[in-house]
Amino acid sequence: MYFLNINKPKGVTSFDVIRELRKRLKIKQIGHSGTLDPLAYGVMQVAVGSATKLLNYLDSDKEYIASIDFGYVTDTFDLEGEKEYIKEPDFTQIKLEKVLKEFIGLTKQIPPKYSAIKYNGKKLCDLTRQNKEINIEDFAREIEIYSIELLEFSKNSAKIKVNCKKGTYIRSLVNDIGLKLGCGATLSELIRTKAGNFTLDKANLISDNLVKINPLDALNLEKIEISDYDYQKVLNGNFIDNSYNVSSDKVLLTKNNKLVSIANLSDNLIKPKKVFKEDE
């Protein structure tokens, strides 16, 4: 049971990465948090073995560096789609910085119609390719962007750094920026530089010697080393008294630097939610 910090290369899908890891590690139980489009590259949070049960507990805030072309749009919001010229960009850097600030905070975002969002069990991208009628506005969702920094600017292009909550589509953000500027915008390159505690500078390519990450180092939750007596109780799924002065709603129970359980605090009792045996 462990995590991997994988640098997904450009030109492959996130599932391609998982498939290759299953072949290499000879383990079927492998999953990831947060799909990256084929044209994007960078950090993937990958869980191996029973760590797949922990994916929902990861800190999944993301950091991206996005390159933008101005003056045209595509139906996919990136370079994979069919190009449509809008008009020559004529805004200043000050104008762009002002527009970027408008997207910071909680907003509603309409996702791309070419996306992996499911509708009646099928991906929107597949339904779109089949020319099925979809009102994409029905799929608007609340997102949160913590910050946007302008890294580079020229007449026809820009590069931005975005820190955001999980679920934010950078392609849609770029398209919306183009709408605000009135000239259209398309995502030309996307790098995920951070996901939770996982950073690009420490990420492994699939062909590298893979560094196993202890779940205790991957999860940003309060950690409590429990006694031998409580350890046996927790292994059997029984609650224990809160003699450890736990204050968080969720806590990691550990023994000898290994994760034993994710537990909830309720009525001043620590109640195991998921329990992990030593052989996991």
> Domain segments of the chain: what residues?
2-59+197-215, 62-191, 221-275
Pick from 150, 146, 147, 145: nearest CA to 168: 145
CATH of 2-59+197-215, one of 2.60.120.10, 3.40.50.720, 3.30.56.10, 3.30.2350.10: 3.30.2350.10
pLDDT of the residue at 81: 85
Same fold, 2-59+197-215 and 62-191: yes
Contact 259, 222 (CB under 8 A): no
Residues pairing with 253 in the sheet: 224, 261
Q: Which residues pair with 129 in a beta bridge?
A: none
pLDDT reported for residue 269: 86
Write down the catalytic residue from 37, 78, 176, 230. 37
Query: For this structure, is 90 an active site residue?
Result: no
Residue 139 — φ and ψ, nearest 5°? -100, 15
Give the span between the Cα atoms of 194 and 42, in whole angstroms: 8
pLDDT at 155: 87
Superfamily name with CATH number, domain 62-191: Pseudouridine synthase (3.30.2350.10)
pLDDT at 35: 84
Per-residue buried b or exposed e for 82-115, using 16+ beta carbons within 10 Å of the residue's own CB: eeeebeebebeeeebeebbeebeeebebebbbbb
Residue 4 is predicted with a pLDDT of 96
- Bridge partners, residue 7, by sequence: 43
- Which mean pLDDT values do the consecutive 10-residue runs of the chain (280 residues) have? 94 93 93 88 94 89 96 91 92 96 91 62 60 64 94 95 93 94 96 95 92 92 89 88 84 90 87 79
pLDDT at 249: 86
CA distances from 223 to 40, 50, 267 (A): 34, 19, 19
**pTM for this one?**
0.86
One CATH from 2.30.130.10, 1.10.10.10, 2.60.120.380, 3.20.20.70 for 221-275: 2.30.130.10
In degrees, to the nearest 5, what angle opens at C-alpha 103 toward C-alphas 100 and 109?
Answer: 135
Give CA separation, 64 vs 32, 160, 168, in Å.
Answer: 17, 8, 11
